[in-house]
Amino acid sequence: MTKRVTRRGFTFIEVMVSVTIMAIVAVLLVPLGTQRDQGRATAAVRLLASDLEHAQMLALSRPNVRVGVHIDDDGGGWSIVDADNIDIPIMDQFDDGHSGRTLHVRLGEGRAAVARSTDKVSPAGQLLVFTPLGGLESGIPTLETAADTATASLEVNSDTGFASIVD
């Protein structure tokens, strides 16, 4: 009668092949995470640019109100506000039959759900105020969104108030 030997464990070659395969998979997956972060940062900065343009249009249509965009103190969102009372967002009223909505955005919520609540806008606490002619009255004209490993920047022309995404 022959005794059958059962092997327990892996050979060195089997372990090395497994480690090599895991390393290759990791090298392929890391850029996907970076691209996802860049996509979130770009989406947030595009949404911010859209709201800056909306605030500029409100400033043009309401010359008696100092319209501004206030970045939340924690950098987690922003509001379109009356610059003389930044604690209360301006209401966006479509017509007399609708009560409107506040013009406040929180990253990770509502229309900014594409970003995570951990994403940030800087400089936090910043207030950009538009003139009745659409230019910037005050505020730092460069804003940045950060999503983990990626950032996206936005520049606002002080004279015209136009926002452009910086590559």
Q: For every one of its 167 residues, what pLDDT tens digit does the chain have, with 9 covering 90 and above?
A: 667 766 677 788 888 888 888 887 777 766 655 567 778 888 888 889 999 999 999 999 888 989 999 999 998 999 999 999 888 778 776 556 666 677 888 988 888 888 887 788 889 899 999 999 988 988 777 888 888 778 888 888 888 888 888 86
Please indicate, yes or no, if residue 41 is contained in any of the structural domains. Answer: yes
Q: Is 124 part of any domain?
A: yes
Residues with Cβ within 8 Å of 116's Cβ and at least 6 positions away in sequence, in order, are 40, 107, 108, 147
Per-residue tokens: 125: 């606490």
- CATH number of the domain that 145 lies in? 3.55.40.10
The pTM for the full model equals 0.74
Domain of residue 31: give its range.
12-166
Asked if residue 3 is part of any domain, the answer here is no
Decide if 5 is inside a domain.
Answer: no
Task: Please say whether the beta carbons of 116 and 8 come within 8 A.
Answer: no
- Residue 7, domain member (yes or no): no
